[in-house]
Structure 1
Amino acid sequence: MTVHNREIAEQFSHLADLLEIEGADAYRVRAYRQAAQTIAGLSESLADRAAAGEDLSALPHIGESLAEKIRTICETGHLPQLEEAEERLPAALSDLLEISGLGPKRVKALHQDLHIDNLQDLKQAVAEHRVRELSGFGAKSEQALADKLAQWQGPAERLPLIEAEEIARPLVHSLRGLDGVDQVTIAGSFRRRKETVGDLDILVTAAEGTSVMERFTGYDEVSEVVSQGETRATVLLRAGLQVDLRLVPAAAYGAALHYFTGAKAHNIAVRRLGVQRDLKINEYGVFHGDERVGGRTEQEVYDAVDLPFIEPELREDRGEIEAAQEDRLPALIGLDDIRGDLHAHTKASDGHDSLRQMAEAAAERGYAYLAITDHSQHVTVAHGLDPQRMAAQIDAVDALNEELDGRIRVLKAVELDILADGSLDLPDDVLERLDLCVCAVHHKLDLPRQKQTERILRALDSQHCHILAHPRGRLIGKRAGYELDLERVMRAAAERGCALEVNAQPKRLDLDDSDCRLAKELGVRIAISTDAHSQGNLDYMRFGVDQARRGWLTADDVINTRGLDDLLALLRH
């Protein structure tokens, strides 16, 4: 049984939740949370590293005790300390922490005083007006809680793209390692790089007699074989994800890849164009009558209807067919176009690595620059920097840049809180010493739409507001984001020369793809940044690029595709 990093991180995070609800030592809780964040940001499999006998305690925030717990999870799939905590407290209590405004202390009070064990218990207590009787709540907070419960959609049924990747990677590797297998491709929403994935569609071409189906259904993470035939099988994985595998002939591979990549509406539009040319296009090929006249490659499918190749990220029937017919398809941005990252954290606030470690990691990725944007003072939970600490950080960056000797330029920056009245969280004399400010909303997320919009517009009026970070404030599957007239904000940003961020953190991906498309139409500059809290998080850039591609963005639309001098000139404009 393969244990994924995601599962290890989830067990540590769940244990931290239950311990915090219990009122355990804050240092112990923080240790588990930091470990979970470190593990979630790793690109290499911890299970593989444990099996190879590597020293896991060398990882950031992973001491010998935590390293031993990781090895236990990798070997058994279970964390004994979590099972013990679940014996003391209902496991579903941690679900209550998903509701905005319910921290561990409040959840503990709800559990101890009202005997609430899960979300259903909470909904009933709110409906019966029992919550308002608790100290620290009251009628208004009870009503606010009722509103949030009504909006909450429950645990997401679709997996974030990063989690689907982690599950899919070893499965694809297993199939590709089989003699006789030629091509293995994951199609569907995964290939279109949607931010969440409901299931996986895998297409395989292989030599006749290759035991693809046996390898697939015998994969060690399969919990149930739903169906199995000679050319198709469906399984459920231990993670709950359904996977369909289709063995297709090489002559029809392109047609099958086009068909199963979708989206359905895009495929229908292409098929209609085929009908106009007396062609039938399906998963088996391109046919004129009974004769297959194409389908070995996707290009042959598009050639058959007089279209250029359309990138998978654009295949949503949102104007890409018409753009292709009129030779207006954008030259989409690629990961290689990115010259630097403009949003990253260090241990000075809530990051896990030092200033030097983050700079070295960015240099290893070939970046010309990295903006260190630790939080400003208002975000106390993240140990935000006050003016004195910010000044010290500026001096530290200057010193580091001299030592780096031009290998990479670390930009003096901050993730600057936009306060409730739209003012910024640090004084002008400090901000004037910075290369850029990434401004963000982190509190008062429940302001009415007009007030929230006016708050952000006032922040954009400042000469120090260079980038508006995660503009909607959403967390995928957990928080829809605050009420906001985003188009009005975009128009103001375009007028003032302020960029909007595509935050590449897989839990955010904010702006979304439709927002990116609107920003492009309105002439708004975009920054694709990782919001990295560790060295490994810098690899999240690919998810931001995926989102930008789905939003039709080119390299010219994105400010951090520019060289250092051009970027700094643009920021000063």
Structure 2
Amino acid sequence: MPIANADVVAVFTEIADLLEIENANPFRVRAYRNAARMLGELGRDVSTMVAEPESLDALPGIGPDLAAKIVEIVATGSCALLERLRQELPVGLSELLKIPGLGPRRVRLLHQELGIATLAQLRQAAQEKRVQTVHGFGSRSEQRILEATNTLLLEAPRYKHADLEPQAQALLADLASLPGVHTALAAGSLRRGRETVGDIDLLVTCDAPRAVMDHLAEGPEVQRVLQKGITRCSVVLKRGVQVDLRAVAPVSLGAASLYFTGSKAHNIALRQRAQEQGLKLNEYGLYRGRQRVAGDSEAAVYAALGLPYIEPELREDRGEIAAAAAGTLPRLVQRSDLQGDLHAHTKDSDGHDGLQAMAEAARAQGLHYLAITDHSKRLALLHGLDADALSRQIDRIDAVNAGLRDFVLLKGVEVDILEDGSLDLPQAVLRRLDLVVGAIHSGFGLSRAQQTQRLLRAMDSPCFSLLAHPSGRLINERQACDLDLAQVIRKAAERGCFLELNAHPARLDLDDTACRMAKDAGVLVSINSDAHSHLQFDNLRHGISQARRGWLEASDVLNTRTLEQLRPLLKRTMG
């Protein structure tokens, strides 16, 4: 099974973490972090690029040394540098970095001052109130650390959907290539499009199930076998992910895919509906007594229960069965509905490509417009634009547009929302833009009231079109800000501005629940890639998946509008 991009990202991230814990040269640390970020956002498969072979040196931020390490990781699953660093530092020290707000420098401090090297040791130190004795830590941070360590030690890990999807697809392709395998598909939370996934659930129909189970159990990426029978097999891969494989007869494929896709709550509600009709539903089929009524396809099972087909993303028992019975299921948005992208970066701030390259890449993805929204000056480390630099970029966008056909670059900015709610650039330059995207990039620890008021004041600015990644969370890395999101959504409805569903796999912000809240409030959501290079427009499909979980239809999404339909909506937000 080929190494996924996420595997290379994990190696580079751990190298950067361990180097920083060692207090290595910050430029060296940054090189690995930038490479990990770029590969995590890359819309192409690294293993394929190595195999072709294609020059990895052409990738942004990848020189000969990093390219050689990518080749080594793809070939072996690791690299010599990482193994050396693991030997030099205590085993488990990097696990401490999973604690929100506990970066490498603070981990180094805890290790030096208290000898802490594991999550269990950290929890014990927090319980004994020793953490707050270390400079830079207080009682509040100690309590947050205690809560986080309890969560990490007690709960099974969950992975970002985008990290496990390539591995699942590789497994499915491998299984589908076996003799006698008729169907191979993903199930579970992966198929439902949940933003995090606990394990990989796979389902096959085949002629010789025992051989298929043996094939999975004996795979080179398997670390250990948990269970193996004639029709089921559970294994743990070397990267720690559990894979559960089931084989069923073709006549039961629909019932089995329903059952193993879930969710559990949706399945229970379906079984209750079946019982009310004198039927019995299980993973083998829908029965009236001993007679099979349906089971070969999901649509047939739903139809036999008097329901239209319910898309996997909706199967969470959040009213979808009642909506199906009433004929009011949403017609979910699709990737092909998107006309443009309203959040992207160029090398004028922290992106990797110029205006022309980003325009051409967006057009190649079937889009008709792209908003250039580089960072404002507050983010100095990201080379944010001041008023003069933004004015020069506006002129250059006009020049690029003059040479484009059937495509338009919109003029925008991702302006920092300061802690008092003011924007990071003067209104005089903002008024020259087509849209203003506001975002918070600091002050995440403000109180609920302060954070909420901060956003409300920002949205009252004369030029304010779109609130980017509203909660500020990074999945499995940084918790969402404490804010009254319902109040923010009401303010967007009142102000006539819009909310973003940032499609970057580490963000997916808004989440599915918030998307539905926005829909119910009549606030349009913009599904944006947040692309930082021409390779990252594939992020949009992750945003579409999240939007579908939030019941969004094409009419609920701002950038399904044509440019002619979009311009009046944006103009109303620009003073």
Could you tell me the TM-score, scaled by structure 1's length? 0.93
SS at match of 1:174: helix
Q: How does 1:304-453 map to 2 (within 5 A)?
A: 304-403=304-403, 405-453=404-452
Q: Which residue of 1 aligns with 2:82?
A: 82
Aligned amino acid, residue 5 of structure 2: N
Q: Which residue of 2 aligns with 1:142?
A: 138
Aligned amino acid, residue 154 of structure 1: L
**CA pair 426-91 structure 1, distance change in 2 beyond 3 A:** farther
SS at match of 1:163: helix
Is this contact kept in 1: 2:43–2:537, CA < 8 A? no
**CA pair 149-132 structure 1, distance change in 2 beyond 3 A:** closer
SS at match of 2:178: coil
Aligned residues: 568
SS at match of 1:536: coil
Deviation track 1:133-157 (CA, whole Å, cap 9, x = no partner) reads 666x3xxx42342143134233870
Among 154, 168, 178, the residue aligned to 2:152: 154
Q: How does 1:267-282 map to 2 (within 5 A)?
A: 267-282=267-282
Q: How far has the Cα of 1:323 moved from its partner?
A: 0.8
Q: Which residue of 2 aligns with 1:285?
A: 285
Is this contact kept in 2: 1:129–1:142, CA < 8 A? no
**CA pair 191-209 structure 1, distance change in 2 beyond 3 A:** closer
d(CA) in 1 for partners of 2:268 and 2:134? 57
Q: How far has the Cα of 1:78 moved from its partner?
A: 2.2
SS at match of 1:456: helix
Is this contact kept in 1: 2:126–2:145, CA < 8 A? no
Q: How does 1:210-249 map to 2 (within 5 A)?
A: 211-249=211-249
Q: How does 1:105-144 map to 2 (within 5 A)?
A: 105-122=105-122, 137=136, 141-144=137-140
Deviation track 1:265-286 (CA, whole Å, cap 9, x = no partner) reads 2112222222222211111111
Aligned amino acid, residue 201 of structure 1: D
Q: More deviation in 478-487 or 43-52?
A: 43-52
**CA pair 91-427 structure 1, distance change in 2 beyond 3 A:** farther
d(CA) in 2 for partners of 1:205 and 1:133? 59
Q: More deviation in 484-493 or 505-514?
A: 505-514
Aligned amino acid, residue 441 of structure 2: H
d(CA) in 2 for partners of 1:373 and 1:291? 60
Is this contact kept in 2: 1:349–1:383, CA < 8 A? yes
Deviation track 1:418-446 (CA, whole Å, cap 9, x = no partner) reads 10110001001111111111111111111
Is this contact kept in 1: 2:192–2:313, CA < 8 A? yes
Aligned amino acid, residue 523 of structure 2: V
Q: How far has the Cα of 1:380 moved from its partner?
A: 2.2
Q: More deviation in 110-119 or 369-378?
A: 110-119
d(CA) in 2 for partners of 1:185 and 1:523? 36
SS at match of 1:316: coil
Q: How does 1:86-105 map to 2 (within 5 A)?
A: 86-90=86-90, 92-105=92-105
Q: How does 1:379-528 map to 2 (within 5 A)?
A: 379-403=379-403, 405-528=404-527
Is this contact kept in 1: 2:188–2:200, CA < 8 A? yes
1:300 aligns with 2:296: no
Q: How far has the Cα of 1:356 moved from its partner?
A: 2.5
Aligned amino acid, residue 531 of structure 1: D
Q: How does 1:162-177 map to 2 (within 5 A)?
A: 162-177=162-177
Deviation track 1:39-89 (CA, whole Å, cap 9, x = no partner) reads 222343323332343322222211111111111222222222222333333
Q: More deviation in 93-102 or 180-189?
A: 93-102
1:20 aligns with 2:20: yes
Q: How far has the Cα of 1:103 moved from its partner?
A: 4.6
SS at match of 1:538: coil
**CA pair 239-116 structure 1, distance change in 2 beyond 3 A:** closer
Q: Which residue of 1 aligns with 2:199?
A: 199
Aligned amino acid, residue 194 of structure 2: K
What do you get for the CA RMSD once the two structures are aligned? 2.2
Q: How far has the Cα of 1:179 moved from its partner?
A: 3.0
Could you tell me the TM-score, scaled by structure 2's length? 0.93
Aligned amino acid, residue 183 of structure 1: T
Aligned amino acid, residue 547 of structure 2: A
**CA pair 55-271 structure 1, distance change in 2 beyond 3 A:** same
Q: More deviation in 431-440 or 2-11?
A: 2-11
d(CA) in 1 for partners of 2:122 and 2:381? 26
Q: More deviation in 110-119 or 445-454?
A: 110-119
Q: Which residue of 1 aligns with 2:50?
A: 50
Q: Which residue of 2 aligns with 1:538?
A: 537
SS at match of 2:412: strand
Q: How far has the Cα of 1:532 moved from its partner?
A: 1.8
SS at match of 2:239: coil
1:558 aligns with 2:560: no
Q: How far has the Cα of 1:95 moved from its partner?
A: 4.2
SS at match of 1:436: coil
Q: More deviation in 324-333 or 150-159?
A: 150-159
**CA pair 225-437 structure 1, distance change in 2 beyond 3 A:** same
**CA pair 102-349 structure 1, distance change in 2 beyond 3 A:** farther
Q: Which residue of 1 aligns with 2:61?
A: 61
